[in-house]
């Protein structure tokens, strides 16, 4: 009996060991595969553009230069646009996540009589697209054009996020809410005191989704605020630099400048490839930093287990 158990335990730990080893190996492979594109981009961004054209850059620059970054930083209004980007990300995420969580809470309540209506009303919009022009006209009539708030209000609530938050709140033990109600807590109290703190992992997840979405957005700047430099964002500024580089080397327009460049034998030129790489680094590094910061909330969620019991 004893022996059997010991044997069993031993087998298990061997199994575990194999599992762990294989798992770690898979993960290392994954890291290599996933890190490669990032390192490659970094290498290209630090490599002289006319050399990059030859191809074959892997993870180390061949002809090192800072010029691509210099170009990106001098051509784009990085600082001013960065401030707008941070503002829209912070405000958009704060308001958006709060709003989504609130709606999610209401439709997670089994007794809410409009539960189904609200859910369907929101979900349906995920699959309906009015199209660019009608949306533009609406925003014009709402006086949102030329305003910072066009970055915030139209995309305030992501339906996907609502549903995700809802399914987490639904996963919380209903007894928690019941006992709170018995103590006389209203819906707002239950939302702020129970639902919100206990679903921190999902709130963190959704915050990341919204923040990244806000940060990467450039299309609304293009459609609504492209004529107002003060409202330009980092992503849009970099799109500008990129489309410039594209034009200089891709199409017939701007032939003058382009020929000036090729005739003078200038060394410092940029190409779409190197601009793209540099701007990818500039734009993604700040937002990539957000994730490790949010990761601690993923672990905190573990405390729920205790509450549940």
Partner 1 sequence: MFKKKSLLLLIFVSLFMFLVACGGDDDASSGTDNGSDSSSDDSGSEDMSNDPITYHYFVGASGDDIHTNETTIGGMLEDETGVNFQMEYLVGDLMEKLGVMVAGGQYPDVVVPDHGIEMMMDAEAFIPLNDLLEEHGQNILAMYSDYLDRITMPDGNIYYLPFGPTINEYVPNPNIDQGAFWIQRGVLKDAGFPEINTLDEYLALIKDYADENPEIDGMNTVPFTGLTYDTSFFTFSNTPNHLAGYPNDGSVQIDMDTHEASVYADSDATKAYLKALNELNNDGYLDQEMFVMNNDDFLAKISSGRVLGFFGYGWQWGTARTSLEEAGNPDQEFMALPVVLEEGIKDQYLDPPSFTQNRGAGITVSAENPERIIQYWDELIQEDMQKLVMWGEEGVHYSVDEDGRFYRTAEQVELSADQDVRKDLGMTVFEWNWPRLNGSFSDGNAVESRRQPEVAKETYRDSDREYLEAYNIDTFSGLFSQPEERPWYPAWSANVEQGSDVALFATRAEELQKRYYPQIVLSDPASFDAEWDKFVNEYRSLDVDTYEEFFTNTVEARLDGDWQYR
Partner 2 sequence: MGDAVNVTGSVKKKTKKKRQPKGIKYFLKKSKSQKELLLMSVPFLIWLFIFKYLPLSGWLMAFQDYKPARGFQESEFVGFDQFTFLFQDQRFLEVMRNTLAMSMINLVLGFVMAITLAVLLNELRQVGFKRIVQTISYMPHFLSWVVVAGLVSSALSVDDGIINIMLMNLGIIDTPIMFLGVGEYFWGIIGASDVWKTVGWNSIIYLAAITMIDQEQYEAAEIDGATRLQRILYITLPGIKPVVVILMIMNIGYILESGFEAQYLLMNPMNMGYAENLDIFVLRYGIRQANFSLATAAGMFKTVISFIFLFGANKIAQKLGEARLF
The contact set with partner 1 (CB under 8 A) reads: 49-51, 53-56, 75, 116-117, 120-121, 124, 132-134, 136-138, 140-141, 145, 218-219, 222-223, 226-227, 229, 236, 239-240, 243-244, 246-267, 269, 271, 273
Structure tokens at 112: 């809410």
Any idea how long the chain is?
309
| 147 makes contact with partner 2 (CB under 8 A) | no
Q: Please identify which residue in the block is written with the tokens 């793209």.
A: 276
Q: Residues 26, 259: contact at Cβ < 8 Å?
A: no
Question: How crowded is the C-beta side of 290, counted as CA atoms within 13 Å?
Answer: 19
Nearest approach, Cβ of residue 11 and partner 1 (Å): 52
From the list partner 1, partner 2, none, which binds 60 (C-beta under 5 to 8 Å, kind-based)?
A: none
Q: What DSSP designation does 151 have?
A: G
Give whichever of 3 and 263 is closer to partner 2, judged by the CB atom.
3
Nearest approach, Cβ of residue 243 and partner 2 (Å): 12
User: What is the rounded CA–CA span in Å between residue 169 and residue 194?
Assistant: 9
Helix (H) or strand (E) holding 51: helix 49-52
User: What is the rounded CA–CA span in Å between residue 123 and residue 102?
Assistant: 16
Give whichever of 8 and 259 is closer to partner 2, judged by the CB atom.
8
From the list partner 2, partner 1, none, which binds 252 (C-beta under 5 to 8 Å, kind-based)?
A: partner 1
From the list partner 2, partner 1, none, which binds 257 (C-beta under 5 to 8 Å, kind-based)?
A: partner 1
Determine which residue in the list 53, 140, 173, 262 makes contact with partner 2, applying CB under 8 A: 173
| 29 makes contact with partner 2 (CB under 8 A) | no
Output phi, psi for 116, to 5 deg.
-70, -40
Within its chain, how far is the Cα of 45 from the centroid? Answer: 22
Q: Please identify which residue in the block is written with the tokens 């190996």.
A: 25
Does residue 135 sit in helix, strand or coil? helix
Determine which residue in the list 103, 210, 221, 270 makes contact with partner 2, applying CB under 8 A: 103
From the list partner 1, partner 2, none, which binds 50 (C-beta under 5 to 8 Å, kind-based)?
A: partner 1
From the list partner 1, partner 2, none, which binds 111 (C-beta under 5 to 8 Å, kind-based)?
A: partner 2
From the list partner 1, partner 2, none, which binds 240 (C-beta under 5 to 8 Å, kind-based)?
A: partner 1
Give whichever of 74 and 140 is closer to partner 2, judged by the CB atom.
140
Nearest approach, Cβ of residue 181 and partner 2 (Å): 12
Strand-pairing partners, residue 64, are 47
| 250 makes contact with partner 2 (CB under 8 A) | no
Within its chain, how far is the Cα of 282 from the centroid? Answer: 15
Give whichever of 205 and 273 is closer to partner 1, judged by the CB atom.
273
Q: Residues 210, 158: contact at Cβ < 8 Å?
A: yes
266-305 binders of partner 2 (CB under 8 A):
273, 276-277, 280, 283-284, 287-288, 291-292, 295, 298-302, 304-305
Helix axes 234-250, 255-264, angle to 10 degrees: 70
| 255 makes contact with partner 2 (CB under 8 A) | no
From the list partner 2, partner 1, none, which binds 82 (C-beta under 5 to 8 Å, kind-based)?
A: none
From the list partner 1, partner 2, none, which binds 249 (C-beta under 5 to 8 Å, kind-based)?
A: partner 1
Q: Residues 185, 193: contact at Cβ < 8 Å?
A: yes
User: What is the rounded CA–CA span in Å between residue 193 and residue 177?
Assistant: 10
Give whichever of 48 and 157 is closer to partner 2, judged by the CB atom.
157
Nearest partner of 220 among 239, 204, 202, 203, judged by Cα: 239
């Amino acid at each position: 009996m004893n022996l059997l158990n010991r044997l069993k335990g031993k087998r298990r730990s061997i199994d575990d060991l194999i599992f762990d080893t294989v798992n770690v190996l898979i993960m290392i492979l994954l890291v290599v595969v996933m890190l490669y594109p990032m390192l490659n981009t970094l290498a290209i961004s630090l490599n002289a553009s006319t050399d990059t054209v030859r191809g074959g850059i892997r993870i180390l620059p061949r002809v090192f230069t800072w010029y691509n970054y210099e170009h990106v930083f001098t051509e784009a209004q990085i600082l001013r646009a960065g401030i707008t980007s941070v503002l829209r990300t912070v405000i958009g995420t704060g308001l958006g996540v709060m709003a989504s969580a609130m709606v999610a809470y209401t439709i997670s309540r089994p007794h809410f009589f409009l539960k189904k209506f609200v859910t369907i009303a929101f979900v349906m919009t995920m699959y309906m697209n009015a199209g660019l022009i009608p949306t533009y006209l609406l925003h014009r009539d709402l006086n949102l054009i030329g305003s910072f708030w066009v970055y915030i209000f139209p995309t305030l609530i992501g339906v996907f996020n609502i549903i995700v938050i809802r399914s987490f709140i639904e996963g919380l033990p209903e007894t928690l809410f019941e006992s709170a109600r018995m103590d006389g807590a209203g819906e707002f109290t239950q939302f702020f005191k129970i639902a919100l703190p206990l679903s921190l992992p999902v709130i963190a997840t959704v915050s990341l989704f919204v923040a990244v979405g806000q940060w990467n957005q450039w299309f609304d700047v293009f459609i609504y605020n492209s004529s107002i430099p003060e409202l330009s964002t980092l992503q849009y500024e970099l799109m500008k630099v990129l489309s410039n580089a594209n034009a200089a080397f891709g199409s017939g327009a701007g032939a003058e400048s382009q020929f000036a460049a090729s005739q003078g034998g200038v060394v410092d030129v940029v190409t779409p490839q190197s601009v793209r790489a540099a701007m990818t680094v500039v734009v993604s590094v700040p937002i990539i930093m957000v994730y490790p910061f949010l990761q601690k909330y993923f672990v905190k969620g573990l405390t729920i287990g205790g509450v549940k019991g």
